[in-house]
Amino acid sequence: MPAAPASTNGASRAKRDEVLAALQRDGVKFLRLQFTDILGVVKNQEVPESQFEKALDGEIAFDGSSIEGFVRIEESDMLLSPDFDSYRVLPWGNTSTKTARIVCDVLNPDGSPFDGCPRGVLRRNLQKAAALGYSMNVGPEAEFFLFQKREDGSPTTITHDHAAYFDLAPIDKGVECRQAIVNTLVALGYEVEAAHHEVAPGQHEIDFKYGDALSCADNLTTFRLVVRKVADDFGLHATFMPKPIFGINGSGMHCHQSLASLKDGKNAFYDAKGKYRGISTLMLHYIGGLLEHGRNFSAVTNPIVNSYKRLVPGYEAPTHLAWSERNRSPLIRVPERRGEGTRCELRMPDPSTNPYLAFSVMLAAGLDGVRRKLDPGEPVNRNIYEMSARERARHHIKQLPGNLSEALDCLEKDEVVCEALGNHVLTNFVEAKRQEWQEYIAQVHPWEIDRYLSVY
């Protein structure tokens, strides 16, 4: 189970002093106290050397009323409690501006956990898993596009290449940028497992090591910053927008996940005698939970209007709730590997999501399946895109929401998912997303002009 924030569990003075010594040893001049808002946007409070001790003691305050979905102006003072294990030196800048980052939990002025802190939301859900005897491991595959920029520096949707899946240079013009991103991640302590060109022109994927959910969420937020920063160094614009171009594949963030037993550390999803070549009963129940709540947590895992432009047939993104041992058309795929590598892959999330909230709702859904012993049914090993509506109905295969508004309706009806988020996050998230939807539907889009202007 992940440790609580330093200011709430009295983390050892020795650990704090160890980080302080590292700051001095590494020649760090600035320390970024990193956190995220409810929508997953990374924020930071940067302090100079003179404030390092105060920062490590959790005494740095910030105005919470200026952060999306945090607090009202009359409750504005918030504290940042550093997670000492997350200390990393950023591998850029010169000796006079050398900067490190440390991920923080957001606390109330009295030092108690803030209900609106996304990292705190994930902690709470991991504690629920721990109460059942499990920890959560996650391996996200975050895809992104590299686009050219205009002379004024503004981004375009013009890709920098015309390569396809696993192509190499010189077809893949982004290989040098991608390699520089990998080198930067390695310098930050990431264990990168793979990096390659994806299906669409200008689309890339870099996968880092499967690990515990909290560290993985921390790494993912920093990963997005690194990708954008390095791309900018190469004169390119990196975007994690799910569907920036019509007619080609969008960017997903497939999430491989499993539960490990806290008793012996072994993968609880594997059972040598289990059904379907070693899948444990617990794993089947977990998949049952993901299928039961998948429609309802899609607003969290696919949180922007554009997310639902990706979740359409024909571009390898899932549109229906089913699971499979073989093909990639259903919502959930079980990769071939067994033993400690046994896992399920949830294929709907996209990289615009807040990873702390996304992992929270996935875990809550899976654990609900475990508690209720939900049956996921038989695996659907046919291509769901090619099945008729009648065939899907016969297999009880439901469809994902078609847009953000529908997804929000589903979310608000699901007690398990709502509880996983907590009232503060749920209320502010839904309010922000309802506003986003209203702004979208009020706009007149180019498609409407092209379709209707000369006809009516």
Residue among 143, 161, 292, 350 flagged as catalytic: 143
* Catalytic entry in 37, 345, 350, 368: 345
User: Among residues 254, 256, 293, 333, which one is catalytic?
Assistant: 254
Full-model pTM: 0.92
pLDDT at 37 over 80: yes
Q: Was domain 124-448 assigned CATH 3.30.590.10? A: yes
**Is 143 one of the catalytic residues?**
yes
Identify the pLDDT of residue 382.
Answer: 75
* Residue of 37, 83, 105, 141 marked catalytic: 141
Q: Return the domain boundaries, the chain.
A: 6-114, 124-448
Tell me if residue 75 falls in helix, strand or coil: helix
Exposed e or buried b per residue across 384-409, where buried means at least 16 C-beta atoms within 10 angstroms of its C-beta: beebeeeebeeeebeebbeebbbbbe
pLDDT at 341 exceeding the cut of 80: yes
292 catalytic per annotation: no
* Non-local CB neighbours of 63 within 8 Å, separated by 6+ positions: 76, 77, 78
Catalytic annotation present for 205: yes
Amino acid identity of residue 385, one-letter, is: Y
Whole-number pLDDT of residue 168: 47
Q: Is 443 exposed, middle or buried (0-12, 13-18, 19+ CB in 10 A)?
A: exposed
Backbone φ and ψ of 171, nearest 5°: -65, -45
The answer to whether domain 6-114 has CATH 3.90.1150.10 is no
Residue 198 annotated among the catalytic residues of the structure: yes
pLDDT at 8 over 50: no
Q: Is 141 a catalytic residue?
A: yes
What pLDDT band is residue 125 in, cutting at 50, 70 and 90?
Answer: very high
Answer with the residue of higher pLDDT: 128 or 324. 128
Percent of the chain at pLDDT exceeding 90: 62
Mean pLDDT for the stretch of residues 420-431: 95
